[in-house]
Chains A and B, each alone.
Chain A
Amino acid sequence: MSSLQELQGRKGRPITDQDAREISRVEELSYDLKIYETMTREVKTVQPNSTMQNVLEILRTGRISGAPVTEGTRLVGIVSIEDLVRALEQNNVNAPISDYMSRNVVSIAEYEPVVRAIETFSKYRVGRLPVVDENGSLTGIITKGDITRGILTALQKDYKEEELRRYRASHLFEDITSERTSLILRYTIRAGDYATGGQASSHIKRALLRLGAPPQLARQCGIAIYEAEMNLVIHTTHGGVIRVQIEPHRILMQTTDDGPGIANVQLAQQAGWSTAPQEARDMGFGAGMGLVNMRHCVDKLEIESAAGKGTKLLMEILLRPEEQFKNDPPKPEPNSGG
């Protein structure tokens, strides 16, 4: 969103250094982005032997202004709204498309950068280009709208939002003066919800990256909490809660649930031991490696559980000096006695 707003807000004022950087990034992207990355893949095509009436219906229902003509997958022509108007003027809508289509089709190869498409649009004064692979088979169609969308998406994805968020969050600990600052993240996990299971872990990993954690640390925490989150999804009766406490020098990750509990905690920690149902196994989980993996990622792991009661899992990662979040401890009061 922010890139779009900024592009619009640029109108009518002098170009700043920031603008200049943005523009050059757009230019760069027009070389970097390939046609196949931004083209539309679902193309409405017509056959040369069907009628112009057919073209009329396709243009109307698809709300488009032209369609490629193909024989099999091979591109043989293009038929546009102008061709249709000619057929209507001559009262000849039942004529085959091959009578009205243009055969000299300008097309573009899918591996070309989008800048080639921009050049071709202005050179031939066309608004859309059929896209072909190296065998001349039609694989998509590209318009100026597709290119604008592709560039904006790339700009947005690559940079802006994430950079900005990261910048804001990474100063959180530094900006707050306290003897002991900690940030607590809390998520409720539903039992048996395989579709959204893992989402909380994904948010946790992203939060750590935004706070300025090194990628290796975020990955370690992400893997450990993801295994724990999937355990809540797979094994609990009513789901559970994830609580992550981030402090400048350590990360505490905790899951709690209210049952069914683990009968033999020691056995559960053995590699390969599992009580997971088939559904979990079908998803690639339940091989009895979860707790083993978690232990591998953290400095301390504790499980408190009993059959019929709930389970509490606690994981702690102590941060090495270079991994620690920068914080601002209170300055000691100057000594009044001198």
Chain B
Amino acid sequence: MTIVTHSVAETEAAAARLAASFRGGEVVALHGELGAGKTQFTRGIVKGLGGDVHAVSSPTFVLLNVYDTGRLKVFHLDAYRVHGAEDFDAIGFAELLEQKGVVVIEWPSRVESLLPPRRIDVKLQTLSPQVRRISVDERTA
């Protein structure tokens, strides 16, 4: 599925719609350059799950933020600083996948080998400062 959004609010709403059907165990790999809106998209996911969007911030420095939305826990990860898969594993990535929450990963290509085959690939492409092309690819295996 591919859509085009024309504002931050539309991007957030698209993410919220996607998240509305989540039941736990989803892994969302968020692809996109600096400033594409990866953290913004995560805010939409938390919103869609009924959580507090104000709790969402970039995990670049701390590598992992956890948001309790009431319904499901969201594990917000960032591999921007990560050198290789071993480093990501050291923060307990494998355990997070088993928690039946929603795992959201920014800069997933840096930890490609750790990503489960069953996941949702979201690509955010900047068409203009306000406009994003968002493609959502739900991989079943």
Whether A and B are associated in the same complex: the answer reads: no
Residues of chain A touching chain B, judged by Cβ–Cβ distance below 8 Å, are none
